[in-house]
A and B are shown apart, each in its own frame.
Chain A
Amino acid sequence: MYKVKVFVTLKNGVLDPQGKAVKGALHSMEYTAVHDVRIGKYMELEIEQLDNIEKTVEEMCHRLLTNPVMEDYRYEVEEVITP
């Protein structure tokens, strides 16, 4: 079994209205050192043993988990030993 951690972020240059609002809130809390906030998504997938897990994960990211028009992603694959 594998545990796959997928991190989805907005592409550079795509304005992030949520990040902007959170930055404004942090500034109003006097964390004025915060220069920028960008909000993304984190997903955990448990996947059965596969021959080419990277290829499958890339495919899933491209087809459903992210919108390639405006999002980038990276992922980590961990092998999980099930008792």
Chain B
Amino acid sequence: MKFAVVVFPGSNCDIDMFHAVQDGLGEEVEYVSHTTTDLTGYDAILLPGGFSYGDYLRTGAIAQFSPIMAAVKEAVEQGKPILGVCNGFQILLESGILPGAMKRNEHLKFLCQNVQLKVVNNESMFTSRYEKEEIITIPIAHGEGNYDCDQETLDQLKKNNQILFQYEGVNPNGSKENIAGIMNKSGNVLGMMPHPERAVDSLLGCADGLRLFQSILTYWREKHVITS
């Protein structure tokens, strides 16, 4: 399986993401510049964290118009797994690929710490290797992770089981419904604030993030390798 890590000007978790796939998961991965317009050679697209375009205007606001985003939208339509972490999540929201918007953290602090997450839905291509309701530990590192949406959107998210991760115990940023990660209705795009790519080896303090990447690989193998 071949992953693309999209590098925007100001991305800073791209290297972590690259190594999570290469060393943690043991699959093929390449960096792809934001100026690229073709993603057909990749099986999954990873939008890393960071501060694309300096977070100017709003987080992710300018990156949504990068040349690569047309190709990302194409990959969304094709049903490829797309994972946006932190700033990657913010870009998915700004570009309208995922519903809702991001606000400053409730207490305005940039938070960099481990948090506990509850796996709300383990029947997605991103979470099949977790148990339902399992509590996992993944680090966060953000100043704007206060997810917000209107009631209608929230009802839809719940009804379609689009909420994959919720903060367990303390909600660090004030996000609506303790939301830490949501997927699109079709189930192939996940946006989340916590960083699974920083938690792929117990040497890093925690390995709970690795199963997210393994879930994607499992899905892809079931779809492409076993059937062919």
Contacts and interface: CB of A to CB of B under 8 A. Distances in A.
A40 interface: no
A56 interface: no
A17 B107 CA distance: 7
Contacts of A18: 104, 108
Contact of A64 (B57, B100, B101, B150): B57
Contact of A14 (B62, B105, B108, B148): B148
Nearest to B99: A69
Among the interface residues A15, A21, A65, A67, which one has the most CB atoms of the partner chain B within 10 A?
A67
B73 interface: no
A17 B65 CA distance: 28
B178 to A, nearest CB: 15
Among the interface residues B65, B94, B103, which one has the most CB atoms of the partner chain A within 10 A?
B103
Interface in B149-179: 149-150, 174
Given A17-B103, A70-B101, A64 B65 contact: yes
A17 B110 CA distance: 13
A17 B108 CA distance: 7
A67 B108 contact: no
B100 A69 contact: yes
Contact of B61 (A14, A17, A21, A64): A64
A21 B108 contact: yes
B104 to A, nearest CB: 5
B80 interface: no
Contacts of B62: 64
Contact of B58 (A14, A15, A67): A67
Interface in A36-63: none
Contacts of B93: 69
A45 to B, nearest CB: 13
Interface in A55-83: 64-65, 67, 69-70
Contacts of B58: 67
Contacts of A65: 57
Interface string A1-36: 000000000000011011001000000000000000
Nearest to A18: B104
A15 B146 CA distance: 10
26 contacts: A14-B103, A14-B148, A15-B103, A15-B174, A17-B103, A17-B104, A17-B105, A17-B108, A17-B146, A17-B174, A18-B108, A64-B57, A64-B61, A64-B62, A67-B58, A67-B61, A67-B94, A67-B101, A69-B93, A69-B100, A69-B101, A69-B148, A69-B150, A70-B101, A70-B103, A70-B148
Given A17-B104, A67-B61, A69-B101, 12 more contacts: A14-B148, A17-B106, A17-B107, A18-B108, A64-B65, A67-B58, A67-B94, A67-B101, A69-B99, A69-B100, A69-B150, A70-B101
